[in-house]
Every structure is written in structure tokens, then in C-alpha cells.
């Protein structure tokens, strides 16, 4: 491609007929064939994963260089943030800390109670998730894919399939890991699916990214399904990828049409999909997962990675009506009574403590 011809640079059209090497058409066909072969290999076969990984390692310093301007800007911004602003923030944080303290105290009591009751019921302990805090290095360099790159990778024990979570909810899943970075596919990407549950009534479904508008779809649900605008979707936890009870999205549109047996449901993701720098990567330990199937055989059906990709909605659907409700879902009912006694809930006339709702909300806090 690079011709080693000594030639004056500004008079390129004077020389040669012959000095140009293979004709443009020949080059075109050669490189087109090469690209097509690459595409086919990368899309259908797995040979290029290792190559990609190595090249990404090469690319890492460049990424850091490219981030310098924004980092500098952030640093300057922080430095010049006003006194007033800091005071404001301080007050707000103090208030928040206080409120969280209260919530935390209650959580401690509940956790204790829950553990005891679990022991009594001989139930399996909830999985302890391992988590890593990561920072976004790159946000979508390609407008087609909703992916971000974060600065934690294999070297930091990040595994493919881990859930990516921010303060407000799930934002995606780790789909590729490189030595020092990893790639997160956002929930709004078309190829990502999340098993969810409606917080209000415990209905299970699978949410798919829409690929544009930053929204999620809930396809394949019948037109008479009990979902309303404003319903909150939380992770159901039956896939063994996402810990149960994390907020995923809110239903913003629910439409049924005459010509379709399915409802048209659009949801807005709860997490800050595009505006967060810090992200928590949560993975359920693989060893615990292996123990899991003894009690609940259906949960084994999907290995973490496969569960999140689009091609198996039917399989997951068929798994959901099975009686394999994770044990932690159903039993908080007895917990409620002592909890209510020790901590009267304001503004909640405790008439019907729906088990699912309670556990979902607690996990969220």
C-alpha cells in the first residue's frame, strides 16, 4: 500500500503511469474481499476474540490519552466550583446521610430477622454478590451500538456477564472483557435482554433494548396483560446474572392495537444510562451458581451470558411459569409483622403486605 517511490510530493500527477502499482480496482477487490472475510469470521466464528483482546490492550494507552482533555476539564471544573455550591452540596449530603442512616438501621434489623427466619425455614442463603467499582472511559463511539468501555477488566477479576449498576438501577451487562478494560452493553442496546418483574404485581417478563431513543421494550406480552403506565420493572433474579430487585425501568407507554395480539409497551430505563461516570459491576460468584441448581433446577437453564442475549426469549418464557420462585421472594411475609411492630411505617396502612412488593422495595433501598 505504501509505495516506496521517491517523488516530489506536490507534483503527484506528473509521474507515472507505471509507478502506481496495482490498479485501484484490483486494490478495491482485494481489500473488499478481505473485509468481507473478516466480517464473516468475526460475526460467525470465534477466532478473532483473542486478536481483539490483544489489540485492545495496545489501544488502551491511546484511550487514556484521548481522555486527558475531558479529565482536565473535569478537574478544572471541580477546582473552580464555588464556595456556595460546595456548601449546598454539603448540606444536601448530610441530609442524605442522615436519611440513609435511618434506613440502614432498619435494614440491619430486617437483615438479622431475615437470616433467622431463613435458618428456620432451612432456606438457602441469598447469594453474596461481589462488586467492583469502575469508571467509564468511553461512551459510545459508534452511534449504532449502545456500549461503553470502563476501566476495569480481567486484571481486576471482572467477568463477562457481570451486571453493571449505578445508584438508580441496572444500566447494562459486561459483554467483553479485556485485560485492563471491559465493554458494557447498555440495556438500551438491541441485543441485550433482561428478565424483569413488575414490582406492583410480580409479573415476570423480559425487557429488550430498543436500539434508539434510549428506551426498552416489553414484547410478546398479551394485550390484556396487567401493566400500567408508571409501573416499575425490577430484575427478577431468575437468570443468575442480575441480583434480584434492582430497578430497571419505568413503563412510560402501554398501548394495545386491534391488529396485534401483543401489547406495545415502552419503558424508560431507571439508571443514568448516559450520564454517569462511576459504575458498579456486580457479579454473582460462579461457585455459588453451581450449587444453586440442586434446589431450583430451572435456574440452571441459563448460564449467565447466554441468558442475556436475545435469541432465547422462548426458553426463558417457558422457564418463568415454573414453580421455581427463588426462596427469598416468597417468605418475607412473616418478616413483616415484627418489622412493622418495631418500626411503624409512616403513611402505609398495613392491610395487605404483598410479599413481592416489600422484598423488592427493601432490596432497592
Partner 1 sequence: MHNDKLKSIYLSLLAAFICMLFPWSGLALTLRPDFMLLVILFWLLRAPNQCSVGTAWFMGLWVDLASGGIFGQYALAYTITTFFAVIYQRRLVLFSSSQQLVYVFSLLFLSQLILLILKTFAGKEFMGWSYFMPSITGVLVWQLAVTFGLNTGRHSHGK
56 binds partner 1 (CB under 8 A): yes
Q: What is residue 46's three-state secondary structure? A: coil
Q: Least CB distance from residue 273 to partner 1, whole Å?
A: 10
Q: How far apart are CA 161 and CA 312, in angstroms?
A: 16
Q: Would you count residue 10 as binding partner 1 (CB under 8 A)?
A: yes
- Stretch touching partner 1 by CB under 8 A, among 3-11, 165-173, 192-200, 220-228: 3-11
Environment class of 32 (CB within 10 Å of its CB; exposed 0-12, middle 13-18, buried 19+): exposed
3-state helix, strand, coil in the chain (%, to 5): 40, 20, 40
Choices 40-48, 216-224, 315-323, 343-351 (CB under 8 A): range interacting with partner 1: 40-48
Residue 5 neighbours by CB under 8 Å, 6+ apart:
15, 19
| 58 to 77: interface string for partner 1, x by CB under 8 A | -x--xx-xxx-xx-------
**Which residue from 163, 164, 189, 185 is spatially nearest to 176, judged by alpha carbons?**
185
Among positions 211-240, residues that touch partner 1 (CB under 8 A) are: 211-212
Instruction: Check binding of 352 to partner 1 (CB under 8 A).
Output: no
Rule CB under 8 A: say whether 42 interacts with partner 1: yes
C-alpha cell at 7: 517523488
How many C-alpha atoms does 238 have within 13 Å on its Cβ side? 27
* Member of 34, 75, 93, 112 binding partner 1 (CB under 8 A): 34
28 near partner 1, judged by CB under 8 A: yes
Tell which one of 5, 72, 104, 128 touches partner 1 (CB under 8 A): 5
Among 75, 88, 144, 223, binds partner 1 (CB under 8 A): 144
| Site membership for partner 1, residue 152 (CB under 8 A) | no
What is the rounded distance in angstroms from the CA atom of residue 79 to the CA atom of residue 70?
14
Place of cell 410478546: 220
Closest distance to partner 1 from the beta carbon of 44 (Å):
10
Q: Torsion over CA of 219, 222, 227 and 230, rounded to 10 degrees?
A: 30
Cell readout for 64 is 487514556
Chain residues in the site for partner 1 (CB under 8 A): 1-7, 9-10, 12-13, 19-20, 24-25, 27-28, 31-32, 34-39, 41-43, 48, 52, 55-56, 59, 62-63, 65-67, 69-70, 136-145, 147, 149, 176, 183, 190-191, 210-212, 274
Amino acid at each position: 500500500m505504501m509505495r516506496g517511490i521517491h517523488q516530489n510530493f506536490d507534483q503527484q500527477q506528473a509521474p507515472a503511469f507505471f509507478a502506481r502499482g496495482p490498479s485501484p480496482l484490483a486494490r478495491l477487490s482485494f481489500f473488499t474481499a478481505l473485509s468481507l472475510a473478516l466480517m464473516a469470521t468475526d460475526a460467525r466464528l470465534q477466532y478473532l476474540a483473542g486478536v481483539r483482546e490483544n489489540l485492545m490492550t495496545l489501544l488502551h494507552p491511546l484511550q487514556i490519552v484521548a481522555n486527558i482533555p475531558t479529565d482536565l476539564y473535569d478537574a478544572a471544573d471541580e477546582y473552580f466550583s464555588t464556595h456556595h455550591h460546595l456548601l449546598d452540596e454539603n448540606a444536601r449530603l448530610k441530609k442524605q446521610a442522615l436519611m440513609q442512616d435511618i434506613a440502614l438501621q432498619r435494614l440491619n434489623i430486617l437483615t438479622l430477622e431475615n437470616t433467622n427466619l431463613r435458618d428456620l425455614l432451612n432456606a438457602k442463603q441469598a447469594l453474596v454478590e461481589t462488586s467492583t467499582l469502575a469508571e467509564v472511559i468511553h461512551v459510545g463511539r459508534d452511534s449504532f451500538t449502545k456500549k461503553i468501555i470502563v476501566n476495569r477488566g480481567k486484571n481486576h477479576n471482572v467477568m463477562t456477564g457481570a451486571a453493571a449498576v449505578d445508584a438508580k438501577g441496572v444500566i447494562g451487562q459486561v459483554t467483553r472483557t479485556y485485560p485492563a478494560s471491559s465493554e458494557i452493553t447498555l440495556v438500551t442496546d438491541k441485543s441485550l435482554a433482561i428478565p424483569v418483574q413488575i414490582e406492583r404485581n410480580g409479573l415476570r417478563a423480559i425487557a429488550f433494548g430498543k436500539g434508539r431513543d434510549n428506551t426498552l421494550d416489553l414484547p410478546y406480552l398479551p394485550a390484556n396483560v396487567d401493566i400500567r403506565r408508571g409501573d416499575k420493572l425490577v430484575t427478577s433474579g431468575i437468570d443468575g446474572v442480575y441480583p434480584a430487585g434492582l430497578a430497571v425501568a419505568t413503563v412510560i407507554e402501554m398501548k394495545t392495537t386491534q391488529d396485534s395480539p401483543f401489547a406495545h409497551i415502552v419503558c424508560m430505563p431507571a439508571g443514568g444510562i448516559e450520564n454517569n461516570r462511576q459504575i458498579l459491576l456486580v457479579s454473582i460468584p460462579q461457585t455459588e451458581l453451581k450449587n444453586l441448581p440442586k434446589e431450583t433446577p430451572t435456574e440452571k437453564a441459563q448460564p449467565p451470558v447466554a441468558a442475556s442475549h436475545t435469541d432465547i426469549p422462548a426458553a426463558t418464557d417457558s422457564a418463568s411459569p415454573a414453580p421455581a420462585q427463588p426462596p427469598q421472594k416468597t417468605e418475607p411475609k412473616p418478616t413483616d409483622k415484627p418489622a412493622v411492630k418495631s418500626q411503624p411505617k409512616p403513611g402505609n396502612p398495613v392491610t395487605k403486605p404483598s410479599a413481592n412488593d416489600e422484598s423488592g422495595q427493601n432490596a432497592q433501598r
